[in-house]
Amino acid sequence: MERKTNWAAIAVSVVATFLLGMLWYAFLFNEQYMTGNGFSMEGEKMLKNGVEVPMNMTPMIVNVIVLVVNALIMNWLLGLAKAQNLMDGVKVGAGIGLLMLLGIITGNLFAMNPASLSMVDGSYSFLMFVVYGAILGGWQKK
C-alpha cells in the first residue's frame, strides 16, 4: 500500500523540531554552543572570535526550509521502511539520527572543534530525527 502524505503531520513535525532547536540552542545548551563556535555577546553585538558579525534572519529562514525538506524526506523514508506506527517511526528516526550524530562528530574532529560542540549538535540532530519519526510514523493517513 502506498503511503499517503499527511500534510498536517509534516507541519507539526516541522514546528516541533523548530521548537526543539530553540529549546536546545537558546536555553539548554546556549553557553556550550556559543563557546564551541567562538561566539560571544558584547551588549547587543554578536562577536565571533572577537569580530562583530551581523545578525540577520537568513539562517532562520534557511533553517525552516531545511526542516521542511527533512520532514518530507523522513516521510518518504518511513514509507520505504514500511513504518506502521510511532515506534517504527522512532526506530527509523533513531537510525538516521545516529548517522547524523556520527557525521557531526567526525566533522568536528577534523575541524578541531570541542567535543562539547559535537555533543550539542549531534544530540540535537539525533533527537530531531527521532521526533520526526515519532510524529510522522505515529500520525499517518489511512
> What value, to the nearest 5°, has the Cα angle with vertex 127 and ends 125 and 131?
115
Lowest mean pLDDT among 41-45, 71-75, 107-111, 128-132: 41-45
* Separation between Cα atoms, residue 131 and residue 15, nearest integer Å: 11
pLDDT (0 to 100) of residue 55 = 87
3-state SS class at 47: strand
**Pairing relationship of beta strands 45-48 and 39-42 according to DSSP bridges:** antiparallel
Rounded to two decimals, the pTM is 0.92
3-state SS class at 52: strand
Is residue 84 in a domain? Answer: yes
Parent domain of 79: 7-138
Is residue 120 in a domain? Answer: yes
* Separation between Cα atoms, residue 56 and residue 111, nearest integer Å: 25
What is the count of structural domains for the chain?
Answer: 1
Is residue 2 in a domain? Answer: no
Q: Between these two residues, 1 and 90, which has the higher pLDDT value?
A: 90
pLDDT (0 to 100) of residue 61 = 97
pLDDT (0 to 100) of residue 1 = 55
